[in-house]
Amino acid sequence: MLAKSHRVTEDGIDEVMQTNYIGPFILTSILLPLLKNSPVPSRVVNLTSFTHRCVSEIDVSEEALQGVKFGQHSVGGSYPLASTYEYTKFCLLMFSYELHRQLHISSGISVMAADPGVVETRIMRELPPCLSRFAFFILRTLNLLQQPDTGIDAVLDAALAPREASGKYFFGGKGRTIRSSVLSYDIEIAKKLWAASSALLRELRLRDCESRTG
């Protein structure tokens, strides 16, 4: 998801942050017991983006994961839609690597990251039509723009790859895997991200219980 303005969900989290990262983290956490007990090998495929490479430093505090800083930037100014999107995709990629490290030896779960590249979808639907059309025109001229039936290749590769490919970053189709950014392999940051994400999940669960009993 790409948004042009800061919007807060009913959980008090930036909408882009919750859609692109917090939501997948929560869903995976909920399904993990089922995946671990599955009679057949299970797989998690997370959809990331090459834009994660734009992240040169990262704040993985619980406050940052709620998107507070993005909302602060938009007060009196424009919402940092590009950096917000890049941050969420970086978090999802780092989460994928950490999940792989935790699971690939002790369980039958494999974890893959898939990057479809630049695909002509409605992801820029909130931007002015003239701007999105111009962006797609430039990308098409540079031969970088793909149609959805081609962009899906990396995702299918990740879904169908052998279990031994767990922890890989799929990009470009034809089973191709590449290295992601250097920062994305920082194990200490990944552990901090995991801890902060887990703390946020516990907080959301507590709020939900209180709302049900209150």
Q: Has residue 140 been placed in a domain? A: no
The two tokens of residue 100 are: 């792989």
Range picked from 24-28, 63-67, 100-104 for highest mean pLDDT: 24-28
Q: Has residue 205 been placed in a domain? A: yes
CATH number of the domain to which 28 belongs: 3.40.50.720
Quote the crossing angle between the two packed helices 187-213 and 81-103, to the nearest 10°.
Answer: 100
Closest CA to 197 of 39, 5, 64: 64
The rounded distance, in Å, linking the Cα atoms of 119 and 50 is 12
Q: Has residue 5 been placed in a domain? A: no
State the pLDDT confidence band at 210, using cuts at 50, 70 and 90.
Answer: confident
Q: Has residue 195 been placed in a domain? A: yes
Q: Has residue 122 been placed in a domain? A: no
State the pLDDT confidence band at 213, using cuts at 50, 70 and 90.
Answer: confident
Q: Has residue 26 been placed in a domain? A: yes
Could you tell me what percent of the chain has a pLDDT over 90?
Answer: 75
Q: Has residue 105 been placed in a domain? A: yes
Q: Read off the pTM.
A: 0.93
Q: What is the mean pLDDT of the chain?
A: 92
**What is the tally of structural domains in the chain?**
1
How far out from the chain centre does Cα 157 lie? 18
- Torsion, Cα 191 194 198 201, to 10 degrees, reads 160
- Domain housing 38: 15-116+152-213
Kindly report, residue by residue over 18-27, the tens digit of the pLDDT. Answer: 999 999 999 9
Determine the average pLDDT of the residues in 92-118: 94
Residues paired with residue 42 on neighbouring β-strands, in sequence order: 109
* Angle (nearest 5°) at CA 207 between 96 and 201: 10
The rounded distance, in Å, linking the Cα atoms of 192 and 212 is 30
Closest CA to 197 of 61, 99, 105: 61
Per-residue pLDDT, 104: 82
Q: Has residue 51 been placed in a domain? A: yes
Determine the average pLDDT of the residues in 49-58: 96
Helix (H, G, I), strand (E, B) or coil at 170: strand
* Angle (nearest 5°) at CA 48 between 193 and 175: 125
